[in-house]
Structure 1
Amino acid sequence: MPARIIVNIAPTTAGALPPPHTGPAVNAAVLAAIRDGLSPQTSTYLHDGPPPRPFAITPLLDERQRTPDRTSQHVRFEVGVLLDELTGPILAALAARDQWRIGATDYTKRSVDLIEATPYPDLLATAAPATSWKFTLITPVSFATGREDGARRQRILPDPERVFGTLAARWRTWAPETPLPPDIDNTIDDHLELVDMRLSTAEHMIKPGAPYRRGCVGSVRYTLAEPAAVPPETRSAINALTRFARYAGIGDRTASGMGYTLTEADERLTRGRHHPSPAA
């Protein structure tokens, strides 16, 4: 089942700060924890397997969804797991690690929390037939062109065809036994429209020494054009894909910290969630 795991940590040395870009370092630390606590074979599969990867991570973030600085009260990273049989083992591997090294900074575990886990059938069955959806893009979202499309380029605008088309493709990869409605691709292509955006561009490191990737951060809202022409079960399925983005992220390089996304429901929960106190 898709799951979201939060790892809350604190720097071992008071005042120690991470570099501005920690996506690759968190990826490496998570894979090391899986290698040591689960198996080297699973770690290698997650690192070297073909995309899309069955997990997503965030860089280090504070309570304001920013890179931690000297005013931050809390430091965390999140792991989204998309493959049912990996949820329990990855949770156990992360929980077993008390010390974390992110880049050149050492951290101590404060807590590891499974904050959400919903089987794919339940994710689909409990989604209401909505007609409007908002995302807040916390880390950069972009979509790379294919090798057959000329020079490799980054398409940074989160148009609905790419956003929801990618989510549908990942759903089909990791939940083939829970099919989406057969008309969902046509609905994505013919009915979804981008109606509001507050976006800026940002860069993201995916590998030390490699060129940074560009993407968009900010907020976007999509609606269905002519929603009466879309069956309720298809509107519900698009709502399920929106919820699925909580776990899978949006766009490319989500296993390196890109595409971390909040829905409106996530933002309400985040505002109301009590983080562990520094003494915890």
Structure 2
Amino acid sequence: MTVADPDLYAFVIQLYPTEIHPASRPLGHGVQALFLDLVRQIDPALAAALHADAPGKPYTVAILPTPARNGQVWLRISLLRTDIFRTFVQALLRQPARQATLQLGKTTYRLGDIIGTPPPNGHPWAGYHSFTGLAQAATATATIELEFATATAIGQGTRPDGKPRLAILPDPELIFPSIAKRWNELAPPECRLDLEAVRAAANETLLSRYHAESVEINLGRGPQKGFTGRCIYELPPDPALARLISLLASAVFFTGVGIKTARGMGLCRQRSEVGR
């Protein structure tokens, strides 16, 4: 894939436990802490800013839901700003070859492969692109398929007791405006989307087939509910609206969807599409 001036990056990082029996399965907050610790080695101020409790965090972290072999863990980290990419790469290069260890929760891991390119020579969850490139490449298609790989939930305000209200269904009227909101928080001004048009496109999008289930993910402060699964959406007949949904389906690979994408939730990618 050739992309001029990428500003969206996705890495897959392999970790091997240094102990025969890992202390525990890593949790979402531990993965976030590992990422921020790496950034802090190069730029403490940037790490502090990324840790701040603010909307539109320009990165996502997750543990890939792949079968574990001998306690191996595959981390998936996406970076949505070029300055974070540069700092993160510097931090990885600083790790001593074949000797680097990283702390993830209560377990120490040895750093293995670092993959930043897509197949055929890379990894299906790795790659790079740009906001501008995604916007230019979006085309009207008849259907798209999304894979929600980790627990996904869409925030819907708060309840009277102050707790969040969460939607855990792959409803297009929830999913695509959520992706668009995140896109607009992070994309350059010239790429920002008309959210009213996105809502109109989502309203014309149909969930035509799905296999999904409710799940819980432990982020370190108790269980968090969400859903995982694969869903096929029928896009609007209007080509302009279909292109909007197609763009968001491509962007979600980097942006994630829903709440707590910096702690392991909302990992999502487009699986297939059928041209009009």
Common topology (TM > 0.5) = yes
Q: 2:59 matched to 1:47?
A: no
SS of residue in 2 equivalent to 1:157: coil
Using the alignment, how far apart are the partners of 1:242 and 1:28 within structure 2? 28
Which residue is 2:108 aligned to? Answer: 106
Q: 2:22 matched to 1:17?
A: yes
- Asked if the contact 1:17–1:69 (Cα under 8 Å) also holds between the matched residues in 2, the reply is no
Give the aligned length. Answer: 252
SS of residue in 1 equivalent to 2:201: helix
Output the aligned Cα RMSD. Answer: 2.3
Q: CA deviation at 1:187?
A: 3.1
Q: 2:253 matched to 1:246?
A: yes
Identity of aligned residues (%): 22
Which residue is 2:186 aligned to? Answer: 174
Structure 2: which 5+ residue stretches go unaligned? 1-6, 118-126
TM-score by length of 1: 0.81
In structure 2, do the counterparts of structure 1 residues 166 and 182 end up closer, same or farther at CA, with 3 Å as the change threshold?
A: closer
Q: CA deviation at 1:4?
A: 0.3
Cα shift readout 1:61-91 (whole Å, capped 9, x = no counterpart): 3xxx336254x7x531011111233222223
Structure 1: which 5+ residue stretches go unaligned? 267-280
TM-score by length of 2: 0.82
Which residue is 1:185 aligned to? Answer: 198
Matches within 5 A, 1:95-174: 95-97=93-95, 98-115=100-117, 116-147=127-158, 151-174=163-186
Aligned AA (1:258): M
Question: Where is the strand percentage greater, Structure 1 or Structure 2?
Answer: 2
Cα shift readout 1:194-241 (whole Å, capped 9, x = no counterpart): 1111111111122x3x2311000111121124x1xx234x42332121
Which residue is 1:273 aligned to? Answer: none
Which residue is 2:266 aligned to? Answer: 259
Cα shift readout 1:17-71 (whole Å, capped 9, x = no counterpart): 36345211111111011001x2111111111141121110112x3xxx336254x
Which residue is 1:87 aligned to? Answer: 85
Q: 2:222 matched to 1:218?
A: no
Using the alignment, how far apart are the partners of 1:21 and 1:28 within structure 2? 11
